[in-house]
Chain A
């Protein structure tokens, strides 16, 4: 038998959790290998093209479950390559939530106050900046004006976008062609590489086993770069520390698959999944009313008709992020662009009865696509998602060559979650249907279930071993030396976009992980300076 290659640390996944861990451990002197299931692309690889096989399908992963489908990144840089770079901090009350367990679900050591310094660090690296109104796109402006008209407030959202480079092309989900999005390819990952970390794309981790010396062996398959259903090889790497950061839809599956050999997992692995309470509504805007009631005009006589123009969410309403409101009734509302394809099918037309997501009326609604305004609701759900037995490889039975798979998640929304969604739906209606501005219709959950781009909590931190998989240092209970730093660790829905919180938690976890690595004989120190300001072009394998 050939011996397995060895390293100090294996990091699984190169999104927020993985990239931050890789940077600090490599910068501190550890030998770090990052295994990433997806390909490694850069600016000019990011196509403006819906053709299957272009960057759109290469960098994405869409996994349908029972009652909930997950959309995430599948590439070096993970979700940061495909996301919209809206980077707010979570409100104070989100950390005080009780959720389904009836007592505070976050570890006692973490609150908004204790996390703020870590938020600050990430915000310097990416960097995160607040936008001014002149950068706010037509759709953000329309949403702001409608909120104002309804007596509400509205905020430009902090973002990780270089405004000078952005062309408002709205292809940012396919990766940013113009290098305007400050993805992890621009900061933590080049920093990690500069300190000697290795990133292996198209390496999908399947399971972890133990080595004789108390370390871990990470087993992976190599994935074909065009047809992800095909495995071209496989192997193992041994490490003293494993940092799992495959995302909330994948990390618990790797752990469950490892259970027969690693030994029993904490009960909370693969439970308490949250979709961040996400839900979407599509409003079809009445252009005349927008001109008359809101006084909006693009300067050429067109009032709005700008769904295709822009850069994801730029304006949010935070009026219902009020700590005095009862749990499950707090939410934020954010204007959003979802491109055609997977998103468009879920928008429903106003029909007298019968199906609304396909057919004649739906086609009519599509003909008014430029006048759509999509509103994204982030509510407080009940952590009700549960993962079933792992599929043979990866986190899904892959259907298409790229992007599409069927996974083992079951999500059956509780009355609390449904109430939160209904309250958010009603608020959107109240704002956008006022004075005939629009007709608002929720996306249907009947086709692929609820739909989240913010999977969280499937392996969460907490003080109570019965309801959390990780301690407050992100170490997997009962398996010292395995850490989870991705969205899986976040205990519950945040009511805002989660990436900055995931990143801040990963930053916060690093001193402890470095200490654990030292205790296991790795020559590594914590305290490297943060990676340089965003590079002007992303790192690649070439």
Chain B
């Protein structure tokens, strides 16, 4: 599951011998952002499916490797053994319109992505306080002291275009 999440939003390895995280990108990725915590949150509705999905993913990885004559290291699950570009190609295939299992893989991708871009397993203000890698990398602003966001400066404050000539009095198109 870590390897899958890392394929969606890749990150740097936690240690030199990290296998699940392929190390395809700098900085924390979906795994560091808490993808596993999110996937294990009952509110997602997919916790019960994680075991079967992991097993299916490895089976797909074995077939994928066999079709291409790739030799997979058997010390780790088959999907983890796949190099990053092959993990990506397999995930692309599994989520392609028409793939019979697409729904399940899209859900997994959705939650992996959400761990990174919205930290849906934690309160957003806490996530920012704790240095959540996704929200910080995106530049998500910090809230005010009461945990709410306000942007007192929000406008260039000047006319920037001509309105459409046939705009009606209600401000709508004719």
Q: Is the CB of B123 within 8 A of A144?
A: no
Among the listed stretches B38-46, B53-61, B73-81, which one makes contact with chain A, having 4 or more residues with CB under 8 Å of it? B38-46
Q: Determine the residue in chain B with the shortest Cβ distance to A112.
A: B174
Complex interface: chain B residues within 8 A of A402 (CB)? 43
Q: Is the CB of A91 within 8 A of B173?
A: yes
Q: Is the CB of A48 within 8 A of B149?
A: yes
Q: Smallest distance from the beta carbon of A287 to chain B beta carbons, Å?
A: 12
Q: Is the CB of A360 within 8 A of B120?
A: no
Complex interface: chain A residues within 8 A of B149 (CB)? 48, 167, 169-171, 308
Question: Given B45, B92, B171, B173, which contacts A398 in the complex, CB threshold below 8 Å?
Answer: B45
Would you list which residues of chain B between 9 and 49 have a CB under 8 Å from chain A?
9-10, 24-25, 29, 41-46
- Known interface pairs A50-B124, A64-B103, A344-B113; A135-B155 also in contact (CB < 8 Å): yes
Would you list which residues of chain B between 157 and 173 have a CB under 8 Å from chain A?
157-165, 167-168, 170-173
Q: Is the CB of A401 within 8 A of B171?
A: no
A448 to B138: give the CA distance in the assembly, Å: 23
Would you list which residues of chain B between 115 and 161 have a CB under 8 Å from chain A?
116-125, 134, 137-141, 143, 147-161
Complex interface: chain B residues within 8 A of A296 (CB)? 156
* B106 interface residue per 8 A CB criterion: yes
Complex interface: chain B residues within 8 A of A119 (CB)? 170
Q: Determine the residue in chain A with the shortest Cβ distance to B159.
A: A133
- Known interface pairs A141-B156, A171-B149; A52-B43 also in contact (CB < 8 Å): yes
A156 to B160: give the CA distance in the assembly, Å: 10
Q: Is the CB of A366 within 8 A of B137?
A: yes
Q: Is the CB of A321 within 8 A of B173?
A: yes
**Would you call the interface of chain B mostly helix, strand, loop, or mixed?**
loop
Complex interface: chain B residues within 8 A of A64 (CB)? 103, 106
- Known interface pairs A153-B164, A354-B92, A401-B43; A51-B121 also in contact (CB < 8 Å): yes
Among the listed stretches A268-276, A335-343, A523-531, which one makes contact with chain B, having 4 or more residues with CB under 8 Å of it? A335-343
Contact string, A331-373, partner B, CB cutoff 8 A, digits 1/0?
Answer: 0100000011110110000000011001110111011011000
Complex interface: chain A residues within 8 A of B110 (CB)? 342, 345, 447
* A110 interface residue per 8 A CB criterion: no
Q: Smallest distance from the beta carbon of B85 to chain A beta carbons, Å?
A: 8
- Known interface pairs A48-B124, A355-B92; A399-B43 also in contact (CB < 8 Å): no
Q: Is the CB of B107 within 8 A of A401?
A: no
Would you list which residues of chain A between 104 and 130 have a CB under 8 Å from chain B?
119-120, 123, 128-130
Q: Smallest distance from the beta carbon of A352 to chain B beta carbons, Å?
A: 13
Question: Given B134, B154, B170, which contacts A310 in the complex, CB threshold below 8 Å?
Answer: B154
- Known interface pairs A167-B149, A344-B117, A345-B110; A158-B163 also in contact (CB < 8 Å): no
Q: Is the CB of B171 within 8 A of A309?
A: no
Q: Is the CB of B43 within 8 A of A138?
A: no
Complex interface: chain B residues within 8 A of A137 (CB)? 154-155
Q: Determine the residue in chain A with the shortest Cβ distance to B126.
A: A51
* B8 interface residue per 8 A CB criterion: yes
Q: Determine the residue in chain B with the shortest Cβ distance to A137.
A: B154
A382 to B163: give the CA distance in the assembly, Å: 29
A359 to B30: give the CA distance in the assembly, Å: 10
* A155 interface residue per 8 A CB criterion: yes
* A434 interface residue per 8 A CB criterion: no
* A148 interface residue per 8 A CB criterion: yes
Q: Is the CB of B173 within 8 A of A89?
A: yes
Q: Is the CB of B121 within 8 A of A158?
A: no
Complex interface: chain B residues within 8 A of A158 (CB)? 170-172
- Known interface pairs A332-B173, A355-B91, A402-B43; A50-B119 also in contact (CB < 8 Å): yes
Q: A57-B43, A88-B172, A144-B160 are in contact. List 20 more A-B contacts (CB 8 A).
A: A48-B124, A50-B114, A52-B120, A52-B121, A89-B173, A91-B173, A120-B170, A133-B158, A153-B162, A157-B171, A167-B148, A168-B150, A299-B153, A345-B114, A366-B116, A369-B117, A400-B44, A401-B42, A406-B103, A449-B97
Question: Can you list 12 A-B contacts with CB-CB less than 8 angstroms, sorted by A residue number?
Answer: A49-B124, A51-B120, A52-B44, A133-B155, A148-B160, A299-B153, A308-B151, A309-B154, A340-B140, A345-B110, A359-B8, A363-B137
